[in-house]
Copies of this chain bind each other. A is one copy, B any other.
Amino acid sequence: MPITLKELADFCDAQIEGGNPSILIDTAADITSAQTGQVTQLTNSKYTRYLKESKASACFIAHDFAVDTIPDDIALLRCTDPEMAFINAVGLLHPAKTYGQHIAPQAVLGANVSVDESVYIGAFAVIGDNVSIGEGSVVLAGAYIGNNVKIGKRCRIYPYAVVYDNVIMGDNVIIHSGAIIGADGFGYKFRNHVHVKVPQVGNVVIADNVEIGANTCIDRGALGSTTIGAGSKIDNLVQVGHNNQVGKNVIMCGLTGVSGSCTIGDYAILAGSSGIADHVNIGQGAVVMARSGVAGDIAAGTQVFGSPAKDKRTAYKEQVAISKLPELLKTVKQLEEKIQALEKQGKDEN
């Protein structure tokens, strides 16, 4: 759905600098590849050189971002926040797929299901007993929703996501394909030479605006709830064990694991492939860097790296020191010899 440059600028609250306001823009693209009819963005001076050779028709750019000569055909779209303006433009030019009211004849609905009349339920979806689904929510093909699940408004459950019994989720929650919400936590007691299963009878509670990536697992509480706070975003293939209490606006990147009974503070960031041992508290806004393993509490606002994880500055110092270690071994060997010589010399003199 192409729109004029003028319409785009108005929609995104930007001022046109150069170019022709009536040309048509049909799609958005990265600055390295944008072509005629496309809008792009420039927010990092590292990429300024791409603009100079670009065939894009328009480029969002901050009011004070300096550029020299640029092709005549590019209109700059000056604005205060080009990243957000570009997000809005992408949303406008590439509208998300929408789903109207529909309950597929191949879906199976349990007893006492309360589904808002606007809800979409795809083929082969299975909805258990006593489930409620709020206004505008979409349950795509083959998604499995267990008994007593509450799904808020405008949620989207992708194909083959599995939501076990008793899970509660707020509004605007997105659950990607293959995510498993509410499977049993991993709890056993070792007795008489075997691992006895500890019943896992709690649930998972997901607040508003949470997004959960493909094939991510969030286990139910053993007793009580595993909770994910509002606005938290969880990437693909993440393991969140039982009874973790994840705060608001937390970021967890791919292949990260959080054992169990941890508290993850608001705004914390767990970078890719990081891991948290059980019963650990991660303070508000703390950052666990990629591939780090955390076994003890992390204070708010700190950044840690390594396995075992340490304060980032300490870890970096140690990394630098390790790179000097092979040389240090040689140096110390030489010092030993020199000292031996000095000692011998001392003895010879006496």
A-side interface residues toward B, CB under 8 Å? Answer: 28-30, 33, 81, 83-84, 87, 90-91, 94, 96-97, 104, 106, 108, 122-124, 126, 141-142, 144, 147, 158-160, 162, 164-165, 174, 176-178, 180, 183-184, 186, 188-189, 191, 193-199, 201, 209, 211, 213-215, 217, 219, 223-224, 231, 233, 235-237, 239, 241, 243, 249, 251, 253-255, 257, 259, 272-273, 275, 277, 290-291, 293, 295, 307-308, 310, 314, 317-326, 328-329, 331-332, 335-336, 338-339, 342-343, 345-346
Min CB distance, A90 to chain B, in Å?
5
Q: A237-B239, A239-B236 are in contact. Are A293 and B290 (CB under 8 A)?
A: yes
Q: A84-B191, A290-B275 are in contact. Are A158 and B183 (CB under 8 A)?
A: yes
Q: Are the C-beta atoms of B158 and A160 separated by less than 8 Å?
A: no
Q: Are the C-beta atoms of B223 and A236 separated by less than 8 Å?
A: no
Provide the bound-state CA to CA distance between A94 and B166, in Å.
13
Q: Are the C-beta atoms of A214 and B180 separated by less than 8 Å?
A: yes
For A322, the chain B residues whose CB sits under 8 A away are 318, 321-322, 325
Q: A126-B142, A325-B321 are in contact. Are A233 and B94 (CB under 8 A)?
A: no
Other-chain contact of A198, B87, B123, B194 (Cβ < 8 Å): B87
Min CB distance, A107 to chain B, in Å?
9
For A236, the chain B residues whose CB sits under 8 A away are 180, 183, 186, 217, 219, 239
Other-chain contact of A291, B33, B87, B293, B318 (Cβ < 8 Å): B293
For A328, the chain B residues whose CB sits under 8 A away are 321, 328-329, 332
CB nearest neighbor in B for A94: B201
A-B CB contact pairs (8 Å), 27 listed: A84-B196, A97-B165, A126-B142, A141-B144, A142-B144, A159-B162, A162-B178, A176-B180, A176-B183, A178-B180, A178-B217, A184-B211, A188-B233, A193-B249, A195-B231, A195-B233, A214-B217, A255-B255, A275-B290, A321-B322, A322-B322, A322-B325, A325-B325, A338-B343, A339-B342, A342-B342, A342-B343
